[in-house]
Amino acid sequence: MGYAGGVPSGSGAADTPVPFGVNMLAAGGAGAITAVATNPFWVVKARLQIQDMGIVVGRHFKVPYRNTFNALRRIALEEGLRGLYCGLTPALLGTTHVLIQFPAYEAMKERLARDAGTRVSELNALQLSVASMAGKLAASTCTYPHEVVRSRMQIAGQTAGIAEHVRAILREDGPRGFYRGFFVNLVRTLPTAAITFTTYELIARHLQAPVEGSPAALPPGKAGEG
């Protein structure tokens, strides 16, 4: 099974794999569009989380944001489009996350199906959950540092200067600074991935299953008989 438009393809006519390059292109395109569309909300999220801490990454919040919409409005008025899209560059680099997660998920499903001696479309909920969490873990381990850099840039209101923040993290915390909050992130994202992907796969199977009595549900040679 592959992906159509960056999401699992479900259990269609056969377990014909979508080419790896198509998976990568679809996942990367979907990730880039999502990054651009949601970046302002990530900026707001990052700032709301730390606004009561005073000076953070060189930025001082003199008047706290009241809520999400107040933050969006103030950032747009006070900082313009650049403020809403600070941290976009590392966010776009973060599309490598889906480039790793989706192919890894597909590969894990195929491995589990092969080990179980079954088809990918016949994997049970537990096997699908394992595959989805494995894909998410692989992607998060490889790409989490971009989230740390992105958050620092969003808090500081910067649209450039990735190298500067990378050097600052290395100077202040060393390599482990790029993985601050990593475990907490996994506690949130692994169960989410398992629930999302498993639910999608099972619902897709149900919706694509032939309706009893329809030509598709009849044995070969019977479909054309009236």
Q: What domains are there in the chain, each with its CATH number?
A: 17-39+84-208 (1.50.40.10)
Share of the chain above pLDDT 90, in %: 43
- For residue 73, the model assigns a pLDDT of 93
**Is the distance from CB of 71 to CB of 42 less than 8 angstroms?**
no
Q: Which long-range contacts (CB under 8 A, 24 or more apart) does 54-61 make?
A: 56/155, 57/152, 57/155, 57/156, 58/156, 59/155, 59/156, 59/157
Provide block-wise average pLDDT over 10 residues at a time, the chain (226 residues): 46 58 78 91 88 58 82 90 89 85 91 94 95 96 91 80 88 92 94 96 87 54 52
pLDDT of residue 161: 81
